[in-house]
Structure 1
Amino acid sequence: MGMCMHVPKQKSGSIIQTTPQIQPSRKIISAQDEEKELTENLRKQTKSRIHIKKKAGVTTSKFEIEDIVDAPNAIITDRPKSPWDVEIIQNSLDHHFIFSSLTPEQRDMVVEQTKHYSVSKNGIVFEQGQPGTNFFVLATGILEVIIDNNQVNTLKSGDSFGELALLHDAARSATIKALENSTLWGITRKTFRTALEAMNSTANQENMQFINSVPLFQILTPGQKEALVSSLNTQKFEVRQRIVNEGDPGDLFYLIIEGSVSVTKEGRELRISGRGDYFGEQSLLYNCLRTASITAITPVKCVAINREKLKNALGEQLQSILYINSQRIALEKSEVFSKLNKDQIEEIIKQTHILSHPLNDIAIPSNTEKGRFLWIILQGELSDGQSNFHPFDCIGDQELLNPNEGFFENDVIAQEDVILGKLSKMEIETILGTSIQKAATQNEAMQVLKGVSILKNLSVEKLRSLIDVLKVVDYFDGEIIVRQNDPGDSFFIVKDGIVEIYKDDHIVRTIAKYDYFGERSALFNEVRSATVKAKGNVACWVLHQTEFLNLIDSKVRTLLTKRIQLQDSKIKFTDLRVIRTIGKGMFGIVFLVMHKNNRNVFALKTVERKKIDRFSIHANLVLERKILLQLDHIMIVKLVRTFKDEKRLYFLTEFVRGMDLFDVLRKQFLLNELDARFYTACLITILIYLHERDIIYRDLKPENVIIDEDGYPKLIDFGTAKFISGRTYSLVGTPHYMAPEVIICKGYTVAADYWSLGIMLYEFQCGRLPFGEEDNDPTAVYEKILEHDLMFPDWFDKKSSSKNFIKQLLSINPAMRNSGTSEKLKNNPWLSSINWDRLSNKQIKAPFIPTLFDLGLDDFYNPDETADEVISREEALDASLSLRVKHKPPPSTNWDEDF
C-alpha cells in the first residue's frame, strides 16, 4: 500500500536489442505469409521491452520527513513583492510545464504564496538525493548546480528550479549551493497544492451550482452534470465589450459568475443581468440566431459551453437527453415500472414514440380503451377536466396490469404545448419478453439471488435459470422449516414473513424478508447447523441441491466452491503456518501461509505497529480494510479477514496463483486485437464494479494485475484506492499511467481510471507506452502526458476500431472516456463481440494460461518456529524504519477496533 513500490525484476544475461526496421518484401508471398512475417517483425520490434523495469508509483507524502527541508539555514520572510519581483516570478512560470495549464488567477495565487528566502554564501538550498519540498525562483545572486560532487551549471537571476517537488517528494537530482549571498522566492508543495486544490474545488463547486441553477439542466443525471462541468471553459470580458451580437449565429451558452451585462434588442435595453443569470440556451437547442445583444457593463467572468462540446459530453442532442431523462424519472416513479431493472427501463425508453401536441389539442380522445397504451408526459400539462397531469407523470400505467378497465370518459387536452412519450402494452411486453407483472416478480427474485453470497458471481443467464426452478413453499406459525443436525439438500430465501433461528434450543436471531439460510447445502452435503422455525405465516423460495447442480457446470461449481472457502470467517491466526515470503513493500510484508488443518493457502500481509505510528498510516489501513470488505468479485483479490495483536495488523487474503500482467506482456511481446479485447473487457468489468461502489482505484497498471491460473486478470493492491464523492485531488498513481487532471491538481473523478486503462490498451496493441516510453524522470513523463501528442506506430492498422477506442479512453476531457455511462462504454463497437455474462463467469477461453509451479507447502522456514518468529525475522531485515520522519500519534486509542 502507500507508495506502491515494486522491486524491478532483474533479467540475467540480457542484451538490449536495437529496433529493427520492417523492410518491404522483394518476393511475391501470400497474404497469410505476409501477415505472419509482419507479426514476427512486430514481435522483434517490441522484444526489447523485455528489459524494461516495472514502473514505481508515486504519491503525495503520507508522512513528513524529519529534519530534511529545503534551504534549512535560509532566513524566510513574507515580505511584500515589488512589481519587479512579480514580473520575475511570473516570467519563470512560463518555463515549467506544471504551470502551463494554470489559469491567470491560479498563476497569481502562486506568485502571492511565494515567500522570500535569504541564503548566505556557501549556503545549501537542497542536496542531491534528498526529498524536495520547494520550487524556487532566483531573484539575486548566483547558485551552482552540483551533480555527484561536480559543478555542472550555474544559475543567475530569473532562473527557476525544483518544480517537480510541487507534485511529490521525488529525490533531488542535484545539489544547489550559493556562490554568493543570494535571495530566492520559494513556494512549498503543501502550500501550492493546498491553494490550488482550494481554488479548483471552489471553481468546480461554483460551476456545479450554476448547472443546478439552470432549469434546462436540472433534469440531467449527476454523471451528465459532471460531464458538463468538465466541458465548461471560463471567459472574461472588459467593460463595454460586446459578448453576443443580435442576429449573429450562436452556439455558445453562457453562465455569469461575476459582473453585470446589459441585454438589448434593436438598441432598446430590456434588462440588466448579473451573477447567476444565463443566456444563449436557445442556441444549444435550436441552432438559431441571437435574439438580443449582450454587453458587459462591468468586468464580467462567465463560464461557457458550445454545442459541439455539449454533444461530446452528453453524446446526443440536448433535447433528446432531456426527453430520455424525463422518461427515466417517470418510469422509476411509477409503481408499475419501478420494479423493472435498468436494462429493461432503458430499452422501453429507446422504443418509446415521441409525440407533440399544441395548446388545446386532444392528446388522448375519449372512448380510448384503457390498458392498451402508456403515455409519459415529458413537457407541458394535460387535463381531462377533473385531473391535471404534469411532467414525469405516467398515464395508463396502472391499467396495463388490469385489462378490461373500460374507456377514457373525457378527452385529455393539452393545456400548453405538450411533448408525450407513447408505447403500447404489446410493445412493452415484447421488449420484456413476458408480462409486466411477471417481469417485476422475476426482477424481485433476481435482486434477492444476487444478494446470496454463493450466487453473486453467477451470470444473469444462470440466475434466470435458477429463478425458473425456485419453488414457493408456505409454512404455518411455529412450523419447523429445517432441523438442527438433519441432512441438508436445499437452501431457502424468505419471501414473506419472519423466521427464528435456534441453536441447541436457544434462539440466536430472527431473519425476515429476503434473508436466506442453508446456502452451503446447495454445494456441500452438510448437516444443518441450526433449527429454523416460522414465526407467523411464512413463504419461502426454495432451491433444491439437485436442481441447482443440474444448472451449474463443473467449472462454475469449482469457482463457487473456492469463493465459499474464502468466506471462512472462523479462521484464527493460530491456524496459520507461514510457508515463505512472497513480497515486500515500504509498509508491509506479504507471506504465503497455509491453514494447518485443511491445507488451504492464503496470502498474509503484515504491517508493524511501529511503522504504522512512525509513518502515520492509521487512516490508510482502516480505509484499505473498509474498501476490501466491500469487494466480492471474481476478478478482484478477496479479503478473508483481518487480525491484530500488540505487534502488528494482519490482512488475510486469497492467494492468487499465476503471473502478473507485466510479465505476461513481456513474454507475449505484443497482443493481437482479440487478446487485447479480452483483457480490456475484463478490466472494464472490474472498474465498473468498483465505480458502482464509489471506489476509485488510482493505480491501474500491468504490475497490479495478476493473470490467475484460469488466465483471467485479478486486481490486487488496494493501497491507493479510496471512496470518492465528487472529486479528489491527491497526486497518486504511477506517472506513465496518470491522467492529465491528476497531474495538474484540477480535481479528478473515477474517469482517471479509464485513462489508465487506455494507456494499458495502447501498451497491449503497440508494445510500448504512448507518453514517455523512454523516460524514467517523472517530470519528462508528466510533460509529455500534458502535451498529449498521441501517436500510433506506422504499422498500426489504421482501420482498426481499437484505435478510436484508445483515443476515447485517452481523451483530455474526462467525461468523454466512458461515453457518459458504463453501459455506453460496454456498447462501444470495438467491444460488440463480448458476451459480458460469460466473461463475468469465466466462461470465455483466456488467451494465455500461466505455468504454475509447486507451492512447496511442506517447505516451512522451520516447522518448530511460530508465525511470529518468522515474521519478526523478516521485519528485522527491513531498513525503512531508519528513515527520520515526524512521529504523529494515532487518531484515537481504539482506531483499530474493527481489525
Structure 2
Amino acid sequence: MEQLACFKCEVHSKTEQEEQFLKKALGKHILFQELTGTELHTLVMATQKLEVEPGARVQAQDTLGEYMFVVQSGELSLYCERKKTTYAKIKVGQIYGETDLLYGVPTAQALIADKKSTIWKLGQMTYRQVVAKHALEMDSDIKAALRKVKLFDGLPVPTLNKFADTLTRVHYKKGDKIIEKGEIGHIFYIIEKGKVKVHDIGIGDSQQVDSILEPGDSFGERALITGEPRAASITALSERVTLLVMNRVTFEETIGELEDALDFSNRLHSMKGLSIFAGSDLTEHEFERLADLVVKKTYSKGTKLVKAGSPYPPMLWMLQSGTVIVYGRSDHIYSMGAGDYLGDKSILNAKEHISSHDATCETEVTAYVLTREDVESIVVDVGRLGRSSGFAMSKRISSIGMEDLKLYKILGQGAFGKVWLCTTMEGGQTPYALKVINKRALLAQKQHRGVLREKEMLSMLNHPFILYLVSSFQDKNNLYLLLPLIQGGELFGVVSQRARRGRGIPKFEAAFYGAGIMEALGHFHHRYIAYRDLKLENCMIDAEGYIKIVDLGFAKIIVDKSYTFCGTPDYLAPEIIMAKGHNHAVDYWSFGVLMFELLVGRSPFSAPNQPQMKMFKRIVLVQYEFPMFMERLGNDLISKLLVRPVSARLGAQKNGSRAIRNHEFFLSNGIDSRSILKKEIQAPWIPEVKDPLDSHHFQDFSAIEKEKATGSPLTDQEQALFDQF
C-alpha cells in the first residue's frame, strides 16, 4: 500500500493528435472503457513512442510479455520462428499484448515490423499501478468522509469498508435540487466533487442561516435510520457536483440495520473489556461469533439475578444501564452499574457451584447476557479463557527434519520443485507429502514472499477441510514443507470420472463438495484471509471422501483491499481483472465458477480455442448462460454468486458466508453446516486406499531424478530472504 501510494507515473510528451489517437484506440478496449478521464489521460501520457524499421523485432519470441502495443502507422506480424509461420497481422489502430497488462506469460511468437512503423507501448507495472493507485485514493477519500460522520462512530473497520464499497456515484449540475425540504428521507450522501448549499433550514423563528458543504462533507445520514422528513433543502452550487449515495434499503440489505450494527460493535467492545476474554487466546472470528450470541435483556426493578445458597446461574451479565445491589453473608453491600459485570466465574467454573451472595436489580436494568453454553459452543475448551498467548499457532509444529524422513517416490512436479511421498524413519506408518521448493527458481520468478506467506498460513490454520503444516525446514538450495498426504487425489479427477455425458456431477454430490469448500472458505474469511486461488485442482479428497483445500500460495490477510493480480484466469473475479482493489469476496465469485463447473461440467466463461482476453471480457461483463438441464436452485445460487458489484454478491452482504451455507440448494439436498463439519454425511465417493503408502490416485513421476540444485549458489543476501521460513 505504501509503495503504491508513493508511485509516480512516467510521462512521455505527445502531440495533441497523438493523444487523441491513443485515447480513441484505448477507449475501445474493455480494460480501458471503465477508466475515469483522469486515469485514461495518465495512461496515454505514460505510453512510449517507438519508431521501428522493417524487419525489426519489437518483441522476441519466448520472452516474458510485459508490454501492450498500439500501432499508429505501418504494420506488424506475429511470427513463429520455430515453424517459420506468420499467425496474424497487427494493423493501424489495433492493439496487441493487452493480456500482458494483467500478467506476463512467455510469448509464443515474435512481434516483427513488416514495414516502417510507429507504435506505442505501455508497461504492465505502469498500467496496474496507475489504476490501482487511483482506486486506492478514491477508497481512502470515501472512508475518510465516512469516519467524519458521528453517527457511524464505532462501526468496525470491515463494516465501514463494506459501506464504502456499496456507495454509488451520481452527478448534478449547478442549480439542481438534490433534496427538497419536507420530503421523506431515504438516501445518505457524501460529496466527492463540487459544493452544495444547505438552505431553508428549520421552521419559522427557528430558521438558521444557509451553509455550504464541500468535498468530504456528508448529509442525510439520519435517513438510514429514521426515514424522517428532510429539515432543509440542498442545491448544487458548483457547475458539476458528484455525490456518493446509498439508500436505506441497500444499506440494510448489505450491512443490516444501522442500530444493529452499532449495537453489535458495542457488544463486541463490552465483551473484549472483560478479563476472562481480554486474557484469552480467542481469534477475532471467535469474538465476533460470541458477540452474535450475546442477548440484550431488560430486568424490572426487584428482579433477583443471583440468590445466595442456590446454584449460580451459568451466565454472564454485562450491565449497560441501571443498578444492581450485591450483598453477601458478611452483610457487605456494594452497587454495580453500567460498565460493570457479574457471573464471569460461573463461565470459568466447569462445575455447578453455590452462590455466596445475592444480586438484585435496584432499578430497571439493561444488560448484555452470555450463557456458559453459548461460550462453550464457540471456544469448546473454557480453559482457553483467562490466559494470554496472542494469535498463536493452532497446533504444535513438529521438529521433523530431512534426516528423519524416508523418501519413496515423486507424486508431483511443478515450476518450483517436486512433491515426494515419504514417512518418518521411525514408525513409518504415517504417510506424508514433502513439498520441495527450489530457492533459485522462486527468486527468478519473484515468488519467494508467496511461499513464506503460505508457510505462515499453514501454521496458523486449523480446520478439518484445510491442509495443515506438519513441519518446515530448509537447506542452502531448497525450502521444505512437510504436509499430510491426502490420498484421494484432486476433486478435478473425481469430477472427470463421475460427470455424466454432457453435464456435471449429480446435484447431491455438487452440494456435498460445495458445502465442504464453503466451510473452509468461511474459516479463511473469518480470519480476514482471502484464499484467492479456488479451483477444482486445489480441492483434494481425503481418505473419508471429504474436501481438503490445499496450496495457500496466493492466500493473504486482507483487512481492507489488495491490488495484486493473482489467481487462475478462468476463476478470476471482475475486480481483480480491472485492478480496482479486492478483498475476500473474490472467493465467492470463484466459488460460483466452481459450482457451475460441478453442475454443468464446463467453465461458464471460457471456451476451447478462445483468446484469453475474450474470456476476461466475458467475465467483466458477466456473460454466461445456463444449459436447459440446470435446475432452479442451482441457477439461483450461481446467479447470486456471479455478480459483478461486490456489495450485491452473495456472501459479501450482511450475513456473510452463512448466506451461502444456508442457501436452499444445500438444505434441499440434506446438507447443513453442522452435519458436514462433523462428517456425519456419507461421502458420495470414498477413495480406495489399500495401505498407508497407497498413492495410485496420483500421477507417478518416479522416473524424475531426485531434486538437484539448479542455477548459481545463493548469495548471503539472497539466503537472508528466507530467514523467516
Band of TM-score, shorter chain: 0.7 to 0.9
Q: How far apart are 1:767 and its partner, in Å?
A: 2.2
Q: How far apart are 1:806 and its partner, in Å?
A: 2.1
Q: 1:234 aligns with which of 161, 164, 169?
A: 169
How far apart are the structure 2 equivalents of 1:857 and 1:293?
73
How far apart are the structure 1 equivalents of 2:658 and 2:401?
42
In the other structure, the counterpart of 1:708 is: 542
How far apart are the structure 1 equivalents of 2:77 and 2:276?
77
String of CA shifts for 1:391-434, please: whole Å, max 9, x gaps. xx95896499987545637xx8xxxxxxx9779xxxx6xxx7xx
Gaps of 5+ in 1: 1-76, 354-363, 385-392, 413-419, 452-494, 497-511, 516-563, 860-869
3-state DSSP of counterpart to 2:476: coil
User: Is 1:114 equivalent to 2:47 in the alignment?
Assistant: yes
How far apart are the structure 2 equivalents of 1:827 and 1:245?
42
Q: How far apart are 1:347 and its partner, in Å?
A: 4.1
Q: How far apart are 1:732 and its partner, in Å?
A: 0.9
Aligned-partner residue type, residue 654 of structure 1: P
In the other structure, the counterpart of 1:102 is: 35
For structure 1, which segment, 84-93 or 144-153, has the greater mean C-alpha deviation from structure 2 after superposition? 144-153
Q: 2:152 aligns with which of 188, 212, 217?
A: 217
Q: 2:115 aligns with which of 176, 180, 184?
A: 180
Contact kept, 8 Å, 1:106 with 1:196, in 2: the verdict is yes
Q: How far apart are 1:808 and its partner, in Å?
A: 2.6
In the TM superposition, what are the counterparts of 1:78-93 in structure 2 within 5 Å?
79-93=12-26
In the other structure, the counterpart of 2:646 is: 814
In the other structure, the counterpart of 1:501 is: none
Q: How far apart are 1:445 and its partner, in Å?
A: 7.7
Aligned-partner residue type, residue 403 of structure 2: T
User: Is 1:590 equivalent to 2:419 in the alignment?
Assistant: yes
In the other structure, the counterpart of 2:349 is: none
Contact kept, 8 Å, 1:370 with 1:399, in 2: the verdict is no
How far apart are the structure 2 equivalents of 1:245 and 1:890?
69
In the other structure, the counterpart of 2:449 is: 619
Q: 1:805 aligns with which of 630, 637, 643?
A: 637
User: Is 1:740 equivalent to 2:574 in the alignment?
Assistant: yes
How far apart are the structure 1 equivalents of 2:692 and 2:323?
75
In the other structure, the counterpart of 2:601 is: 767
Contact kept, 8 Å, 1:613 with 1:890, in 2: the verdict is no
CA spacing shift, 1:246–1:159, aligned 2, 3 Å: farther
Q: How far apart are 1:689 and its partner, in Å?
A: 2.0
In the other structure, the counterpart of 1:727 is: 561
Gaps of 5+ in 2: 1-9, 202-206, 281-285, 307-315, 325-336, 347-354, 697-701
How far apart are the structure 1 equivalents of 2:388 and 2:322?
40
Q: 1:578 aligns with which of 407, 416, 423?
A: 407
3-state DSSP of counterpart to 2:602: coil
How far apart are the structure 2 equivalents of 1:304 and 1:888?
54
CA spacing shift, 1:398–1:841, aligned 2, 3 Å: closer
CA spacing shift, 1:249–1:770, aligned 2, 3 Å: farther
String of CA shifts for 1:183-239, please: whole Å, max 9, x gaps. 222210011112222111122222222222212222333332222121123344444
String of CA shifts for 1:785-822, please: whole Å, max 9, x gaps. 11113432222222x2x433222322223343313334
In the TM superposition, what are the counterparts of 1:422-437 in structure 2 within 5 Å?
436=371
CA spacing shift, 1:145–1:722, aligned 2, 3 Å: same
In the other structure, the counterpart of 1:531 is: none
Q: How far apart are 1:648 and its partner, in Å?
A: 2.4
How far apart are the structure 2 equivalents of 1:399 and 1:652?
45
How far apart are the structure 2 equivalents of 1:693 and 1:740?
23
Q: How far apart are 1:174 and its partner, in Å?
A: 4.8
The number of residues matched between the two structures is 653
CA spacing shift, 1:210–1:679, aligned 2, 3 Å: same
Contact kept, 8 Å, 1:590 with 1:603, in 2: the verdict is yes
How far apart are the structure 2 equivalents of 1:331 and 1:640?
34
Q: How far apart are 1:606 and its partner, in Å?
A: 1.6
CA spacing shift, 1:107–1:765, aligned 2, 3 Å: same
| Structure with more contact order per residue of length (Cα contacts < 8 Å, sep ≥ 6) | 1
String of CA shifts for 1:365-401, please: whole Å, max 9, x gaps. 8x65464998976xxx9999xxxxxxxx958964999
In the other structure, the counterpart of 1:446 is: 380
Contact kept, 8 Å, 1:594 with 1:602, in 2: the verdict is yes
Q: How far apart are 1:321 and its partner, in Å?
A: 3.7
Q: 2:483 aligns with which of 642, 653, 657?
A: 653
Contact kept, 8 Å, 2:317 with 2:342, in 1: the verdict is no
3-state DSSP of counterpart to 1:783: helix
Identity %: 24
String of CA shifts for 1:507-531, please: whole Å, max 9, x gaps. xxxxx8999xxxxxxxxxxxxxxxx
In the other structure, the counterpart of 1:276 is: 216
In the other structure, the counterpart of 2:248 is: 307
Q: How far apart are 1:273 and its partner, in Å?
A: 0.9
In the other structure, the counterpart of 1:50 is: none
In the other structure, the counterpart of 2:192 is: 257
Contact kept, 8 Å, 1:236 with 1:301, in 2: the verdict is yes
How far apart are the structure 1 equivalents of 2:563 and 2:495?
31
Contact kept, 8 Å, 1:374 with 1:395, in 2: the verdict is no
In the other structure, the counterpart of 2:138 is: 203
Contact kept, 8 Å, 1:92 with 1:158, in 2: the verdict is yes
In the other structure, the counterpart of 1:415 is: none
For structure 1, which segment, 620-629 or 824-833, has the greater mean C-alpha deviation from structure 2 after superposition? 824-833
Q: With structure 2 as the length reference, what TM-score do the two structures score?
A: 0.79
User: Is 1:408 equivalent to 2:362 in the alignment?
Assistant: yes
How far apart are the structure 2 equivalents of 1:888 and 1:574?
22
For structure 1, which segment, 708-717 or 138-147, has the greater mean C-alpha deviation from structure 2 after superposition? 138-147
In the other structure, the counterpart of 1:170 is: 105
3-state DSSP of counterpart to 1:733: coil
Aligned-partner residue type, residue 679 of structure 1: Y
3-state DSSP of counterpart to 1:659: coil
In the other structure, the counterpart of 1:666 is: 496
Q: How far apart are 1:624 and its partner, in Å?
A: 2.3
In the TM superposition, what are the counterparts of 1:316-395 in structure 2 within 5 Å?
316-330=256-270, 343=289, 345-349=291-295, 368-369=302-303, 371=305, 394=338
Q: How far apart are 1:567 and its partner, in Å?
A: 6.1
CA spacing shift, 1:646–1:221, aligned 2, 3 Å: closer
CA spacing shift, 1:250–1:579, aligned 2, 3 Å: same
Q: How far apart are 1:893 and its partner, in Å?
A: 4.7
Q: How far apart are 1:710 and its partner, in Å?
A: 0.7
Q: How far apart are 1:894 and its partner, in Å?
A: 3.3
* CA-atom RMSD in angstroms: 4.1
Q: How far apart are 1:581 and its partner, in Å?
A: 1.1
How far apart are the structure 2 equivalents of 1:721 and 1:396?
41
Larger radius of gyration: 1
CA spacing shift, 1:296–1:891, aligned 2, 3 Å: farther
How far apart are the structure 2 equivalents of 1:871 and 1:242?
76
Aligned-partner residue type, residue 896 of structure 1: F
In the TM superposition, what are the counterparts of 1:471-550 in structure 2 within 5 Å?
none
Contact kept, 8 Å, 1:701 with 1:737, in 2: the verdict is yes
In the other structure, the counterpart of 1:561 is: none
String of CA shifts for 1:265-302, please: whole Å, max 9, x gaps. 28996101112211222433344555312213364343
How far apart are the structure 2 equivalents of 1:289 and 1:333?
39
Contact kept, 8 Å, 2:435 with 2:482, in 1: the verdict is yes
CA spacing shift, 1:601–1:382, aligned 2, 3 Å: closer
How far apart are the structure 2 equivalents of 1:680 and 1:185?
46
For structure 1, which segment, 843-852 or 286-295, has the greater mean C-alpha deviation from structure 2 after superposition? 286-295
CA spacing shift, 1:772–1:120, aligned 2, 3 Å: same
CA spacing shift, 1:183–1:682, aligned 2, 3 Å: same
In the TM superposition, what are the counterparts of 1:52-71 in structure 2 within 5 Å?
none
In the other structure, the counterpart of 1:30 is: none
How far apart are the structure 2 equivalents of 1:733 and 1:444?
32
CA spacing shift, 1:129–1:444, aligned 2, 3 Å: closer
How far apart are the structure 1 equivalents of 2:32 and 2:366?
50
Contact kept, 8 Å, 2:376 with 2:382, in 1: the verdict is no
Contact kept, 8 Å, 2:197 with 2:235, in 1: the verdict is yes
Contact kept, 8 Å, 2:187 with 2:247, in 1: the verdict is yes
